[in-house]
Chains A and B, each alone.
Chain A
């Protein structure tokens, strides 16, 4: 039998806990359990020895542990908060214990077991302090934290909490930074916790530009759907939080997203982290979830979540509620802020895509870039923005001409001719890949192969070649001047509006040509505009109907308010005639018949996906 008779080093009275190498003896010599180096026992005990140990009555250990890196833990008994350092030692697998002079000494089998013990204790203390309200004002917590550092001096969370509990103490911060200096992950965790627990609340804003509902704003149903989607994201993100902060308890430490602002008129959701009198744990979790939401809506989705089909579906719901609404987000934290930027939904379907549509070459202008120009956003039409990868063309290459985005100041709002290709999987989830891009400058001319449908959002009129050029700073298509080319948004939106009007005329002209084709979206549209529904209902009735009959036909698809149908009809006299004198007869105009044909050919008659 060998005996453990002490632990290496002194144990100041101020310390709640001590630990270290065991002083092990076989009766003739004493050795250090970490190094194996020994000293004759009589020299260890001799007066004037420079070997320093904290001794306690011997604990017998079986000889097979002779060469183990035994660890001794000492815990002061009866001292405030020292119970945090006691644990279920039997479950931990200890080799022996001894009570001596109001202290408990425990012998552990290895450094690994000690590290597990230290991790458990430090996690418990971290969580305790995070959960308690008002920890910033009570020095007791600081004492507990400092003692916890005895077990784990480099623990990023303990060090961050010490900084938080002593605001303005530069030395505390400097030493804490030094504590995590050698470990990149620890540095990230430390910095994260400081930001997360900062008393100044962080804000996240999710904005559905132009609103989700027609005409702007947000229907209650839409708001409920978006919030429900966010609730699902909250649940899906939880495991990521627990993975990052293992001391958190999934049952008790996960407050919901705190919505502090909801502007229906602009479809604007505002979230905040810090709430008065809430424990730090909630602030931290909210911050983590908020930054993660910002991360995933910036297109940076962790692999595990990317493979979660339900997660990606909900993420798409949040990022792309329909084909029209332009979603932006911004985050403001204590020491950093990200400007309002388009959200990126990038499902990375390359590996799963089973089908692809024909590439279409289009006239667009460059709306902006995101994520350090890894994504570029094009304006395809006045109400259609599409964000695509500037690094991946879907076939393992970089899109041709995408190097132009390396120069930050040389493309914004300029017209460009791009080739896009839509790929989709068996669930009809789709995305566009940029195949090539040419920014048009004075004197340039390019051909395009199609234009977006002005009737059915997301569809293209294809195989309609047009010649686009820039001459004398004017954008010209098939010889017609669309307007001046500028480097600002307003100028570009003006020619884009003119382009849309022209494209509508082309589209309606081609509507009844049997050989003309449209390229619809792979999936049915997420919504059908009221006008398109009226047009389809009238077409199914032979092109005309009484207003009351029209309402009945339309009610088959979805109930509509009489007033809103009437208003829609009156707003589009070039499409639908409304003869009040002829028993309120409603009829498609010639242009309306063409319009209805386009709706069908462009896939706008399909029932919206649920």
Chain B
């Protein structure tokens, strides 16, 4: 299955240290506490970034660590944004998330069910003008709690695949492409040329050939064709 994991970020350190959970309290951590996601996790989304606009982003191959878990929606959205779940009681939300959480090792079989393995399935999944035909994930996994989140949410967060990895996610060897806001490029290369340690510079040197022009939007657009190939 050619779908890639995407992650948007703002700190250059990701490019040489990989993805690590921030030591500070963040909005994401608050949501995780509400949903009982512990240890704190790193998030990637299958096919595109969760954010529509961003500063930096990278795309990871499916070979990225299988130590995480995955769900067919943005877990954070369950707290306040994804109807009808966002209006549910706290424990019910946690149960809903738990019911739709699978280990990353089952990725291939999960994706065959949703969005499906055919090119049309993949195109639909990545088409910004279309949502799933089903009302919610219970249509595919009938033994799970019912909620029409795919029908009711206006945002892609309602039907994206989310990957969660505890604490950190090494990126070395798994990056397919990355990009940054074009206007940051001069600062980025100047920093790596003048300020970075040898280790940081070496990591960046390995990533440099994978740079995709055009910012986050450019990265996602350029990898679209590759992802819809069956």
Q: Which residues of A contact B (CB under 8 A)?
A: 8-12, 14-15, 17-21, 23, 30-40, 43-44, 48, 50-54, 69, 74, 111, 146-147, 149-154, 169, 171-172, 174-175, 178-179, 181-182
Contacts and interface: CB of A to CB of B under 8 A. Distances in A.
Contact of B217 (A35, A40, A153): A35
13 contacts: A9-B55, A9-B184, A15-B184, A20-B182, A20-B215, A20-B217, A32-B53, A39-B51, A39-B155, A50-B54, A146-B189, A175-B192, A179-B211
B55 A10 contact: yes
A15 B192 contact: no
B10 A52 contact: yes
B187 A38 contact: no
B213 A8 contact: no
A8 B53 contact: yes
A14 B187 contact: yes
A12 B187 contact: yes
A299 B177 CA distance: 43
B187 A175 contact: no
Given A35-B52, A150-B182, 17 more contacts: A8-B54, A8-B217, A11-B183, A23-B53, A34-B218, A36-B129, A37-B220, A52-B51, A150-B183, A151-B182, A152-B213, A153-B213, A169-B193, A175-B208, A178-B208, A178-B209, A181-B208
Interface secondary structure of B, over-half rule: helix
B186 A147 contact: yes
B27 interface: yes
Interface centre among A12, A23, A32 (most CB of B within 10 A): A32
Given A8-B53, A8-B54, A21-B218, A182 B209 contact: yes
A197 B189 CA distance: 23
B181 interface: yes
Nearest to A32: B217
Contact of A52 (B54, B194, B208): B54
Given A35-B52, A174-B205, A21 B183 contact: no
Given A21-B218, A35-B128, A179-B208, A14 B186 contact: yes
Nearest to B185: A150
A331 B129 CA distance: 61
B128 to A, nearest CB: 4
Contacts of A37: 48, 52, 128, 156, 220
Interface string B46-63: 001011111100000000
Interface in B183-230: 183-187, 189-190, 192-194, 201, 204-205, 208-209, 211, 213-218, 220-221, 224
Interface residues of B, number: 43
A129 B224 CA distance: 38
Contacts of B19: none
Contacts of B10: 52
Nearest to B220: A35
A150 B186 CA distance: 6
Contacts of B122: none
Nearest to A18: B183
B74 to A, nearest CB: 12
Contact of A51 (B51, B129, B181, B214): B51
Contacts of A150: 182-183, 185-186
Contact of B181 (A10, A48, A172): A10
Interface of B: 8, 10, 27, 48, 50-55, 128-129, 154-156, 180-187, 189-190, 192-194, 201, 204-205, 208-209, 211, 213-218, 220-221, 224
Nearest to A166: B193
A9 B180 contact: yes
Contacts of A20: 181-183, 214-215, 217-218
Contact of A15 (B50, B186, B211): B186
8 pairs of A and B residues whose beta carbons are closest in the complex: A9-B181, A178-B208, A34-B217, A18-B183, A21-B217, A181-B209, A36-B128, A51-B53
Nearest to A146: B186
Contacts of A54: 183
A152 B211 CA distance: 12
A40 B154 contact: yes
A72 B8 CA distance: 21
Contact of A171 (B52, B156, B201): B201
Contacts of A8: 53-54, 181, 215-217
Contacts of B224: 35
Contacts of B218: 20-21, 34
Nearest to B56: A9
A36 B52 CA distance: 9
B209 A52 contact: no
A428 B204 CA distance: 62
Given A30-B52, A35-B217, A179-B208, A9 B182 contact: yes
Interface centre among B48, B53, B129, B216 (most CB of A within 10 A): B53
Interface centre among B55, B194, B218 (most CB of A within 10 A): B218
A149 B53 contact: no
B185 A153 contact: yes
A184 to B, nearest CB: 13
B189 A51 contact: no
Contacts of A21: 53, 214-218
B193 A172 contact: yes
Contacts of B50: 50
Contacts of B185: 149-150, 153
A512 to B, nearest CB: 77
Contacts of A179: 208-209, 211
A575 to B, nearest CB: 73
Contacts of B190: 146
Contact of A34 (B55, B204, B214): B214
A338 B181 CA distance: 45
A295 to B, nearest CB: 29
A178 B8 contact: no
B184 A51 contact: no
B52 A31 contact: yes
Nearest to B81: A43
A154 B216 contact: no
Contact of B128 (A30, A38, A152, A171): A38
Contacts of B186: 12, 14-15, 146-147, 149-150
